[in-house]
Amino acid sequence: MTHHRIGLAVAALALVAALVGLGSNGGTVAGAPGGSLTISSPAFGNGAAIPVQYTCKGADISPPLTWSAPLGAALVVDDPDAVNGLYIHWIVIGIAPGSGSTGDGQVPAGGTTLPNTAGQPAYTGPCPPTGTGTHHYRFTLYQLPNDYQLPGLAGAQAAQTIAGAATAQAQFTGTFGG
């Protein structure tokens, strides 16, 4: 009986260690259909400050990203702390199945950028108003078929539709202060 309890305790500790490890650099969803769905950035860790060059106070270009999307994916970058409600900074659909990466200012290969909250089919970096504190920017990769289409949708409506159609998601967050 004692060996059984020790075994259960070791298994529980291993599970906790695995869950804590997921939050260190990026988001992972194990067990997603077709394999693991992951997203991270080599420029900053999960929960860390976004470097200035990826914000309106710098070059305002998208950060480098790495991901794994076994069935294809869509990317949504948003700010839930925005003064006037959820602000969508970037939406990319049609991300090909498999692993991939981008460099500074690049769109995932084969991806299509939809209009963000500002109506621009582009990345717009963090730019919170002065005095609004630290904002959290979520980089969410949604598992969708590579041929998933969103005709005529943009901004929050497109993001909501993508989230509703996804079979899995992975996320990491960066911060930036106003």
Q: Based on the structure, what is the number of domains in the chain?
A: 1
Residue 79 neighbours by CB distance under 10 Å: 20
pTM of the shown model = 0.81
| 89, 124 contact by CB (below 8 A) | yes
Residue pair 155/121 in contact (Cβ under 8 Å)? The answer is no
CATH of the domain at 164: 3.90.280.10
Cα(44)–Cα(47) distance, rounded to whole angstroms? 8
Residue 18 lies in a domain: no
Token reading at 102:
């981008």
Per 3-state DSSP, what percentage of the chain is helix, strand, and coil (rounded to 5)?
A: 20, 30, 50
Q: What is the pLDDT of residues 42-78, one digit of tens each?
A: 999 999 999 999 999 999 999 999 999 999 999 999 9
Is 9 a member of any domain? no
Helix (H, G, I), strand (E, B) or coil at 13: helix
Q: pLDDT (tens digit, 9 = 90+) per residue, 145-173?
A: 767 777 788 999 999 999 999 999 999 99
Residue range of the domain that includes 97: 26-177
